[in-house]
A and B are shown apart, each in its own frame.
Chain A
Amino acid sequence: MTRSLVKRLDSKLKKITDHILGFDIEERLKRIPTPVNDFGYDPFGFKPESIKYAALPAYLIYRYYFRVEVYGLENVPDRNVMFIANHAGQLPFDGFIIAASLLLEKDPPRLVRSMVEKWAPTLPFVNTFFSRTGQIVGTPENAIKLLNMKESLLVFPEGTKGINKTFDKRYQLQEFGTGFMKIAMATHTPIVPVAVIGSEEQQISFVNLKRLGAIFGMPGFPITLTFPWIFPFGILPYPVKYRLHYGRPMYFEDKADTDEDVLERNVAEVKTTLQSLIYKGLKERKSIFW
């Protein structure tokens, strides 16, 4: 009885989703080139079918709230790839938008994986949600394994310094770590820079109270135009228009004698390319909100 009710609800939801999206979501998810076992799971616990329930709300936010425009999607190679993007906005909607663009607009669709904090698997239910939607715990071994499996990985080398940056530093890339470059070179993975335009205005932050954030176990505590004044909704993004610019893939040769200088030079090259892509994107846009 319960099972048949769930089945009916599921098929109804699928019909509505397909109607609004304008394509068959299940068919699209099946085309994600991630090998799965007889039960529909990849080795990391990702189950493409799980995404179908999130597809409709994700599409509505993507299409009607942020009204995303994507450029250069043809630059994304159909192989293992690492996306390097600028990070901002206090909440990681930039990651969500990049993932949605690759899933909804690219053909064949790609599911980009991102690295979650090491405490995420300790949260009941949340850990399963992350795992089933393809997110993995941020260890170098996981990233290497994933890229060797020809998957795609999204990295924000600015980390918390990026997401928590104040408004006066918008679109200025913060310090990059070298870890992503080591992994990309070791796995012969091309890097595709992604300039995210819009995310850096989704919250106007004046100051980041790191010590106060530490009390709550957060990487920072932003004081923005709306947060914490309209708590907790004030942290939600303003309806800015997102524009994504995918750059050309960058290839770095792996040499056994790679030293820190080479790594840093390569990282600087990626950072400069991404910064130029950001400036180009900013120059081309007409307005923050439309």
Chain B
Amino acid sequence: MKEYILISGICGNFGRELAAYLHKEHKIIGLDRREFNDRPKDIIHFQIDIRRKKIEEIFRKYVIKTVIHLNIIHDPRVSSKEHYEFNLTGTANILDLAVKYRVPHFIFLSSADIYGPSPDNPLFIPETHQLYGSKNIPILRDLVETDLLVQSYFWKAPDMTTTILRPCHIVGLNIQNGVMKYIKGRIVPTVAGFNPMIQIIHMHDVFRAIEMVMKRREMGIFNISAQDQIPLLVLLREIGVSHLPVLPPFEKSIFRGLFAAGLISIHPEQVDFLKYPCMVDDSRIRERLSFSPQYKITDIIKELRLTTRL
């Protein structure tokens, strides 16, 4: 009997790229409320909202060996109610079905952002650190709670291997996440007098980490970090992006105005990401899975230079 990998949120740019990366070696089922344009023929796609009970049919009909859950909204322009409903209800629905149909492995792609940028952070945050992301950035609350919800299945469903991956900022040619929108924005704001160290990882390295975790069926929480760290302003300079330094202590008000006018993509609550570090310690995944990112910062910068010119 054929065994499938179910990828929720497959129609996002990251999901499509991941499916393209995995589909030659694995049977893939996609799940997303969006349409899957230019879908490779060997990928089965279900255009359903993950909150709906109807997705149970997929679990009933196919033998699923792994769920890779990517279907999370994180758009500062979408209401917090929609965030909550979609992210928490959807994740709970898919988790319960995975348990009910005895899916051996559930992988959730969380984010290092949920640790939250803070002046008193350890510079390299371990997995055991508290999730303070929503302390100063309320729009991260649903992401923190979704991560905690998935964590609760470590003990609620001990027979299922549950893995949470918390990568640093993911970048790649076709990715449309927060950091890519920020560097491709019409105006790239920074805060004068602040230049935090940041980590960026290439999407292909995250794919490798997912594949490795899947092959080894490793349970637990794993930070995924970059090979190198770099100051934010050096990154912007190297990829050829000019930035607008906003004067503190008025940065939040100015960001609020620019965001309301649609000139920047970064939410005013997220301004601390441009001031304080939020970097992760990836020693656990390095030690347990011998995983290390292959892309050097210089290679990523070369690719980003192309991206920002498009």
Contact = CB atoms under 8 A, between A and B. Distances in A.
Interface stretch (B5-13, B187-195, B201-209, B212-220): B187-195
B238 to A, nearest CB: 8
A45 B228 CA distance: 11
Interface centre among A39, A45, A140 (most CB of B within 10 A): A39
Report, as a range, how many residues of chain A touch the other chain: 20 to 34
A124 interface: yes
Contacts of A123: 193
Nearest to A43: B229
B192 A39 contact: no
B230 interface: yes
Interface stretch (A63-71, A99-107, A114-122, A150-158): A114-122
A137 B229 contact: no
A142 interface: yes
Contacts, number: 73
Contact of A141 (B124, B234, B238, B248): B124
Given A136-B123, A141-B126, A142-B122, A45 B192 contact: no
Contact of B281 (A119, A131, A145): A145
B294 interface: no
Nearest to B248: A124
A43 B282 CA distance: 13
Nearest to B296: A38
A240 to B, nearest CB: 34
Given A39-B230, A127-B194, A128-B195, A121 B124 contact: no
Interface string A66-99: 0000000000000000000000000000000000
A41 interface: yes
B194 A128 contact: yes
A44 interface: yes
B197 A141 contact: no
B193 A127 contact: yes
B25 interface: no
B122 A141 contact: yes
Contacts of A45: 197, 229, 231
A141 B124 CA distance: 8
Given A121-B276, A128-B194, A128-B195, A37 B119 contact: no
Given A39-B234, A45-B229, A128-B193, A145 B123 contact: yes
Contacts of A124: 191-194, 248
A118 B119 contact: yes
A137 B196 CA distance: 13
B131 interface: no
Interface of A: 37-39, 41, 43-45, 118-125, 127-128, 131, 136-137, 139-142, 145
6 contacts: A37-B230, A38-B298, A39-B234, A39-B297, A123-B193, A124-B248
Interface of B: 119-126, 191-195, 197, 228-231, 234, 238, 248, 276, 281, 296-298
